[in-house]
Chains A and B, each alone.
Chain A
Amino acid sequence: MAMDAAEIVRLIQESIPDAEVSIEDMRGDGDHYSATVLSESFKGVSRVQQHQLVYKALKGRMGEQLHALALKTGTPS
């Protein structure tokens, strides 16, 4: 199963409007992505919680439709 990169970005920004998302399709198969998500809203939030916020934005697709999303999160520098 695969997912379009633009759809991933859209879902993340729907939940985290200020998110800067850069995404890379690591194998070109629409199933193994690497994403960096930066948002001011991550300030003072633990890394586990930052990732949880992104997973929530993906509404259950992570681990289902989306097999692999290597995730890095942080605040804009």
Chain B
Amino acid sequence: MTDSPVTQRIRQTIDNSDVVLFMKGTPVFPQCGFSATLVQVLSLMGVKFKGVDVLEDPEVRDGIKTFSDWPTVPQLYVKGEFVGGCDIVREMYENGELAEFMTTNGIDQQPQQG
């Protein structure tokens, strides 16, 4: 069985960048509060990421739900692995797990001094 074109496209995207956030809107102009939350988390951690605006791409908007077996956007991928949606990533950020996870995966962080 071959992957559908959209599955191949998603796989390529998460293989090409270490940290990918599938989101509604762009990192500069998020169109949804949940997406905005995760942009903020990644920005506070100083993690470079690629934002993929699913509103611009209906095929990916549907495809990512099947691909991750996850019904909602945003979705965070690190090194090709699905980390979670808004609730999980925020919880991981708050308890320090996310920073540890990024370190384990060799992702650069430059936390903003608060």
| Contact assessment for A47 and B84 in the assembled complex, using a CB-CB cutoff below 8 Å | yes
Q: What is the minimal beta-carbon distance from B78 to any residue of chain A, in angstroms?
A: 12
Residues on the A chain within 8 Å of B65, using CB: 63
Q: Which of A51-77 contact B (CB under 8 A)?
A: 51-52, 55, 60, 62-64, 68, 70-72
In the bound assembly, the distance between CA atoms of A1 and B35 in angstroms comes to 21
In the bound assembly, the distance between CA atoms of A63 and B88 in angstroms comes to 16
Residues on the A chain within 8 Å of B72, using CB: 62-63
| Contact assessment for B84 and A51 in the assembled complex, using a CB-CB cutoff below 8 Å | yes
| Contact assessment for B87 and A60 in the assembled complex, using a CB-CB cutoff below 8 Å | no
| Number of CB contacts from chain A to chain B under 8 A | 30
| Contact assessment for A48 and B71 in the assembled complex, using a CB-CB cutoff below 8 Å | no
Q: What is the minimal beta-carbon distance from A33 to any residue of chain B, in angstroms?
A: 12
Residues on the B chain within 8 Å of A68, using CB: 34
Chain B positions within 8 Å of A, measured between CB atoms, are 34, 65, 69-72, 82-88, 91
The 10 lowest CB-CB distance pairs between A and B, nearest first, are: A63-B71, A62-B71, A63-B72, A71-B87, A55-B71, A47-B88, A70-B87, A48-B84, A52-B69, A62-B72
